[in-house]
Amino acid sequence: MTIDKRLTGGPITPAPRPIAERICICGCGHSFIPSRRDKVYLNNQHANYGYNHGKRKSKNKNRISVEKILLKNDNVLNKHYKSERNTKHVDRHYAILKADGFKFGYHIGKSETDSIEYYYTYNYYYCIFFLDNIKMIKIFKR
């Protein structure tokens, strides 16, 4: 299947991710890959801004909470996809992803191919199917 480039602005090049991406808590909405697990700001400028300004935080509050969910969803799919090697897609129980904190109401795009609906996260896409009446998710890398 083809992926709508308008969603990403171009091809995504995979990078190694020692720590999962997170959103800077200063309120800017930027995501970053922290060098240490306790890092919560993008850099020192953002840390200073975070201490001194409360306004940007409340203005972007809804957008940031949605982006956090989208990032979390992407991280959950990443974890399951990476846990299996040499495969084009990974099948998982719907309930397992849900237990991992995946929120199915949040995705960045949707497409339909041969009557199958695919939902996009930043680096993955997935479809829902049933195996012996059990709801399953098929995860693909973008």
Q: How far apart are CA 91 and CA 140, in angstroms?
A: 9
Residue from 26, 77, 90, 136 touching Zn ion (CB under 5 A): that is 26
Q: Which stretch binds Zn ion (CB under 5 A): 36-44, 65-73, 78-86, 105-113?
A: 36-44
Alpha-carbon gap, residue 103 to 125, rounded angstroms:
14
Interface with Zn ion by CB under 5 A: which range of 39-47, 51-59, 62-70, 86-94? 39-47
- Piece of 40-48, 58-66, 77-85, 106-114 that binds Zn ion (CB under 5 A): 40-48
To Zn ion, the closest distance from the beta carbon of 2 in angstroms equals 34
Q: CB of 64: closest distance to Zn ion in angstroms? A: 10
Residue pair 84/37 in contact (Cβ under 8 Å)? The answer is no
Q: Does 42 bind Zn ion (CB under 5 A)?
A: yes
CA–CA separation, 50 vs 56, rounded Å?
9
Q: Which is nearer to Zn ion, 26 or 97 (CB)?
A: 26
Residue 90's closest CA among 34, 42, 140, 129?
Answer: 140
What's the distance, CA 73 to chain centroid?
4
The structure tokens listed for 55 are 């306004």
* Nearest approach, Cβ of residue 34 and Zn ion (Å): 12
Binding of residue 23 to Zn ion (CB under 5 A): no
